[in-house]
Amino acid sequence: MSTLDKKPAQAEGRKDPWSQLLVKVGKNQDREAYHALFQHFGPQIKYYAMANGMANHAEELVQEVFVSIWRRSCLYDWKKAAASTWIFTIARNQRIDMLRKMQRTSAEMPVETEDLWQIPGEHENEPVTSLHRLMSERRVRDSLKHLPEEQITVIAKVYMESKSHQMVADELNIPLGTVKSRVRLALNKLKVILQDQNV
Amino acid sequence: MKPHHPDTTTLMEFSAGNLSEPHALCIRLHLDKCADCRSRVETLDSLGAVMMESQPQSEVSSGMFDTILSRIDSDEGGASKHAGTAAESSGRISPLVKLLGDDLNSLPWKRQLGDVSVLDITDRFPGQNEQVVLQKLAAGGKAPSHTHRGEETTIVLQGAFADQKGVFNQWDFVVLNQEDDHKPVAVGCQDCITLSVLSAPVKLTGRFGRLLNPFIR
């Protein structure tokens, strides 16, 4: 990402209205901004929960995610992640947490969900990667429009229905290799794979 | 993907939150030391956000926002409390240390045969279907030749080992399956310790096969 200079990335972060709103929540406990975020992301998160087979807990998940957003908004740094990416990772972690709590027997896990799945920008000091992060979301959004439907379908099942590639292959009745190659083609276009040597 | 890193589809399942805890632990330990893979996961997290945004939406119940507000109101100090834990996290304790303490060498290893010791830590991951084992190969030691009936995901925690595919150093990640009949050797002057997640028992192929069956099972 060394070819990108700093200015466009910073402009990117400043332009994103959701990131601006999230900063206001973090700095001033701004409830109007919080409400705007809720109206935008709440229905997305509810669908995310329902698609993931948590229909009975979908509203509970939305609540947990928003309480968590409020509590940790002071840690949010627009230079390190777009608001939507930050919120997605919180929704993902709350989903994992809820499932873990439901499955947990008497034994407690010494490792917390967030020890394994981190929220971008909270656990490290890496100014170098922040440029990459800010650019990546827009790049992903722009290139997603040009992907063939069959590639988007596979990715959607992994992200929205928490399916492994094997499960997607079984469901679509196509070989695992085909699923993986669709994902790789897509990720190549999204430039997730920078230099894949021996695929 | 390069042989010593998780492949992109695995990173995607990680980013989507679909991996089991032991698998996620292997990925996390690798990510903590590998900036390239970390950067891939960041882009994949963005992909998750864009997927969530591009899917249909479900209307939330009308009173929900008020419920949330009353929760955050009754939770005054919650934000500052959280800021405290975040400050602590800047000196984050590795999940490995939380799980196993800070001295891998002094764990209650069970000597198997010759140069190999194992420690089964499956019970640290309640409710999981996979077997999770630590393996230690004494410095300079050799493990018996074996293949894998299912899939074995391994991360090197200390030292290094070598097999037909190359040298695997600390924090390298490798997935072995039925096609890999390998005979690892610990290289360097430290014992080599690995963490493996196994989806099915290992099948030994050497002449000690039967005898060694418990090894890396």
Q: What residue of A is the nearest CA neighbor of B41?
A: A192
Radius of gyration of chain B (CA): 21
Which of A158, A190, A193, A197 is the mutation pick for testing B, counting most B CBs within 10 A? A158
**Both B35 and B114 in a single domain?**
no
**Both B38 and B104 in a single domain?**
no
In a domain, A108, yes or no: yes
- Per-residue pLDDT tens over the stretch B53-76: 999 999 999 999 999 999 999 876
Q: Which residues of chain B have pLDDT under 50?
A: 1, 83-84, 86-89, 208-217
- Determine the pLDDT at residue A2: 43
**Both A115 and A153 in a single domain?**
no
In a domain, B22, yes or no: yes
Q: What percent of chain B has pLDDT over 70?
A: 83
Chain A residues with CB under 8 Å of B15 CB are: 92, 159
Asked if A151 and A187 count as a contact pair (C-beta separation under 8 A), the reply is: no
| Residue of A159, A132, A25, A72 lying closest to B42 (CA atoms) | A132
Which residues have C-beta within 8 Å of that of residue A96, sequence separation ≥ 6?
A113, A117, B17
Residues of B numbered 86-125 whose beta carbons fall under 8 angstroms of chain A's beta carbons: which are they? 86, 89-90, 92, 95, 98-99, 123-125
**What residue has token string 């990131």?**
A19
CA distances to A182, B113, B120, B200 from B214, rounded to whole Å, are 39, 10, 11, 13
- Determine the pLDDT at residue B202: 55
**Both B105 and B199 in a single domain?**
yes
Domain count, chain B: 2
Domain count, chain A: 2
**Both A20 and A91 in a single domain?**
yes
Q: What residue of B is the nearest CA neighbor of A159?
A: B16
CB-nearest to B59 from A43, A88, A91 is A43
**Both B83 and B175 in a single domain?**
no
In a domain, A199, yes or no: no
CATH of the domain at B87: 1.10.10.1320
Helical residues (DSSP H) of chain A, grouped into ranges: 6-15, 17-28, 31-51, 58-72, 83-103, 113-116, 127-144, 149-160, 165-172, 176-189
CA distances to A181, A188, B45 from A140, rounded to whole Å, are 18, 11, 10
**Both A154 and A59 in a single domain?**
no
pLDDT tens for the 199 residues of chain A, in order: 444 445 555 566 567 899 999 999 999 999 999 999 999 999 999 999 999 999 999 999 999 999 999 999 999 988 888 999 999 999 999 999 998 888 775 456 678 899 999 988 776 555 555 566 667 777 888 888 889 999 999 999 999 999 999 999 999 999 999 999 999 999 888 876 554 433 3
**Both A22 and A57 in a single domain?**
yes
**Both A100 and A16 in a single domain?**
yes
| Residue of A144, A135, A187 lying closest to A2 (CA atoms) | A135
| CA atoms of A44 and B212, how far apart (whole Å) | 52
The reply to whether residue B89 touches residue A132, judged by beta carbons under 8 angstroms, is no
In a domain, A131, yes or no: no
Which residue range(s) make up the domain with A180? 146-194
The reply to whether residue B99 touches residue A110, judged by beta carbons under 8 angstroms, is yes
| Residue of B84, B81, B77, B4 lying closest to B36 (CA atoms) | B4
**Both A100 and A190 in a single domain?**
no
Which residue range(s) make up the domain with B126? 100-204
Q: Is B210 an 8 Å CB contact of chain A?
A: no
Chain A residues with CB under 8 Å of B36 CB are: 194
